[in-house]
Structure 1
Amino acid sequence: MLPLQEREIRMSKRIACVGCGGKAAVKRPKSGDPICRPCFYQVLEDEVHETIKKHKLFKKGEKVAIGASGGKDSTVLAELLTVLNKRHDYGLDLCLLSVDEGISGYRDDSLETVKLNQQSYQIPLLVVSYEQLYGWSMDKIVATIGRKSNCTFCGVFRRQALERGANLLQCDKLVTGHNADDVAETIIMNLLRGDSARLSRCVEIETKTGQGGIPRVRPFKFTYEKEIVLYAHFKRLDYFSTECSYAPGSFRGYARTYLKELERVKPTIILDVIHSGETIAFQKNTKMPKMRQCSRCGFLSSMELCKGDGGSNGGGGRGG
């Protein structure tokens, strides 16, 4: 049986494009409309531009770091921001920022893809590593604590590493490739955990890591993962698609599977979940954790020591 995307592409070839009337190349996952490649490029680029405009994500003259992992999301993000920056005269000073978590056979390969992108777009690239910042790599952490809570540790380290890298680059904004699927998955995860604090924050298109922190923006908040993949495929962009070796069995994986099952029944479910997350209201007496600065490294935390500094069994390494 053919993969879903290939079946959609073959089926769409017999149908006219909803935009120009020409031969359709694909059925849009977001709307189900048949569309040709040029119209698909234009629609996706216009939608991202409208998101940027509507939410006022950038100001002219800002220096913006693109969180670049070498995966499909960050690769398409770098492509689109480069295109839109020129087309709409955003006036942004773009650069690439990558984090080397120290995962053998995974991150070292994906960083080669980032370097290819850097050469294509001719924008500066900075790579920061866990080893350099904390004295620990993810391989060392896993060897110490075993295969448990790996994504939790990595997530904390990665957020801090991106912040530190953006500071080194003296950036005004940090932009990440989190797409609509990612946001919907996070909403489901926080609902299942009963985590009111994270649920209220995870739907924001712009977040800040405390006083003096660099704002992070997500232009792909309403962009479907499948459409990002199709854009990368049609544009023949170089990206790394291997899953992290420590990801299988993560809580997010179960949320992703659940969301994909729902999407098969109702393609709009991803945006529906996001809109639901945005409109959830909490009672006034709902207790939210008070955010403070980590007493050791100064990064935002709900505890005296953030997980980067106070991780179990020494897995946190040196946060400062």
Structure 2
Amino acid sequence: MILRRFISCALFLLLVSGCMSDAVLSRRLAESEAGRGMLLEEDGRYAEAFDAFRSALELEPDSLHYRYEASRLAFLAGDVRYGTRQAEALHRRYPENVLVSELFAYGCMLEGRDDESERLYRELLEKHERYGPVALNLSLLLERRGAYREAFDILRPSADEWKDETVAGFGKRKLYLRLADLASEAFMPGDELIWLTKALETKGGADGRAGAASSGPKPSEEAEKQDDESALKLRLAALLADQGEPGEAVTYYQELSDAGTLTAEATFNFARILLVDLERYPEGLEELRLALEAGFTDDAAIEKLLSEPDLLDPDAIRQVLDASKKGASP
């Protein structure tokens, strides 16, 4: 604020002294506001940065740069109506500009003008097939109307060339998880398995971005990362079991069990695989005991387990169940 007042006073003195014309003063003031806006954005103060660029635009209304930045920052500050209005004005003047078209399409998407937004994004992708941010937003629009397979096919070509900095906060791990989610919705378990595995193999935080080498993660960030990885391993384990790969599934279940992060339901599922699919009874009975101890009470699931035709020793399972009801170990 002090710097802004100093610059404004200096420019005013130059004007009254006859050393600067109105047009030049206006341009200098606009440049000052734009510079202030850039610094505010770097600090994450988007509402103030937006106000600064809006002031710059009022001083220099013909500036493409100021109008674009005012529109972009309006979205970050939550003023969707202003941002879309400025983006639309830019698009009327520069319909072939990729960044302008992308900005306007984004505004339309935020305002719920899905048909118009989809049309703009498709036009952009025709010219720039692997433009990640456009593919991502178009996939979101397609997902809204249930076109999961098309959304997956639209986003898939971007995966190999995706850079962490392509979209702020949307690194490769998040991209892979999004592809896995779309594959799941489109009933493509093989593709879901591929992208879940890629996500697990991709290092970084919960958002997929690598942490700074000079400083370790904060405790809360580390906990979030661990929760994210545990959920991913659990999802992979369940999917592998469904796909007839119990041996690979138990690898993940065992890791989570050893870490003490399995829920009662997941522990029961682990026990079922050990008992039914792999016939590893001592381990399976122990996991079943732990599931019951953790509060697993799904009688239908238990009855289904007991009725499995490939079950070798249902009596051993009943002993664990009876002991759990009595509150004693078998």
Name the TM-score, length of structure 1 as normaliser: 0.23
The structure with more helix, counted as a fraction of residues: 2
Higher relative contact order (CA 8 A, sep 6+): 1
Taking structure 2 as the reference length, the TM-score comes to 0.23
Larger Rg: 2
